[in-house]
Chains A and B, each alone.
Chain A
Amino acid sequence: MRLTVNGKEHEVDVEDDMPLLWVLRDELGLTGTKYGCGIAQCGACTVHMDGFAVRSCQVPAASADGTEVVTIEGLGTPETLHAVQEAWVEHQVAQCGYCQSGQIMQAASLLSLNAEPTDDDIDVAMSGNLCRCGTYPRIRAAVKTAAQKLQEA
């Protein structure tokens, strides 16, 4: 199977039903994307596939074949952060951090679908991403800041 991850092409030899999450972490060594549940219940494994958020634990390798995947490692760089990452730093959202790459990828996807999300929109889009540390109020505030940054940009 062939897929482009963070702009780089990769050829990987895996079973058709291997979850994309394992391809990313074990085959390509991109460990920024986290494993929480493996059954679409937590959001820790969220990445973008052809521009949309997906739970990578739910994507069989065969479905990812030929797609463009972006992980937290490719969303921004330390020098040029994505607006969502910038807002996350400003609001000091992360606590333990385990859920945060998934949160950030989901928030970036929300803002690409909906440039001015209401509180309700944010709650609908982000409720599938669990945070054991309860950083939810900071997540909501940071999504709003990121939306502003993207509009001003």
Chain B
Amino acid sequence: MLRTSVVAFCLLAMPVLAEGENVVIAPPAEGSVSTEDGLQAWARIYEVASHPRCSNCHVGADNRPMWSGPSYGNARPHGMNINAGDSRIGAETILCSTCHVERDGLNDVPHAAPQVAMAWQLAPVEAEWFGKSSVEICNQLRDPERNGGRDHLDLAIHLDHDLILHWAWNPGGGREPAPYSLQDHVNDVLTWGVAGFPCEGD
């Protein structure tokens, strides 16, 4: 009896609990996160967004992916003069999938092409992160005009589904993974959203 009421209480306390395909999507209750805690969650989100595993493909309108991070030495544009074009997937000249072939599992060979079970591509140009400050990325990511019209739940679902994003935490080939974990990152996005998407300088 006691146990049943504890379970019932927990269910009531959690407004939405969705078992995603790869992560649990469990936002904190509305109004339960302070702005300060939201900003702390954002600081961790920025560590992820600005990490080379993410920012290398979140590049600007020159459509040139980057090679940067501990396993690459100095930051430089993707070798072989690669340009993903306005299509962001290389459809104008050479598809990203020429080397980043769709495969189940991991291409773990050092210096070879990262591969996932999805068509490799750049993030949309609106989501330019490479070299951008925390405030700039924060304002982009909370702006529906520039984040694909997403609220925090939609962002979490996007993180749950997009296999290229999962790769960031399991890049193989001796590359440094993005910090924390996919689940931690989803939790931080939800916390930040419930806090009202605070950015420094608001």
Contact = CB atoms under 8 A, between A and B. Distances in A.
Contacts of A41: 79-80, 111
B30 interface: no
Interface string B154-180: 000000000000000000000000000
Interface in A98-136: 106, 109-110, 113-114, 117, 121, 123-125, 127-128
Interface stretch (A5-13, A25-33, A59-67, A75-83): A59-67
Given A124-B81, A124-B82, A127-B82, A58 B115 contact: yes
Contacts of B80: 41, 127-128
Interface residues of B, number: 26
A83 to B, nearest CB: 18
Interface stretch (A47-55, A86-94, A144-152): A47-55
A128 B81 CA distance: 7
Interface stretch (B41-49, B90-98, B183-191): B90-98
Secondary structure type dominating chain B contacts: loop
A75 B107 CA distance: 29
A116 B80 CA distance: 21
A125 B94 contact: yes
A39 B109 contact: yes
Contacts of B112: 38-40, 58
Interface of B: 79-83, 85, 91-95, 97-99, 101-105, 107, 109-113, 115
Interface of A: 17, 38-41, 46, 52-55, 58-60, 62-63, 106, 109-110, 113-114, 117, 121, 123-125, 127-128
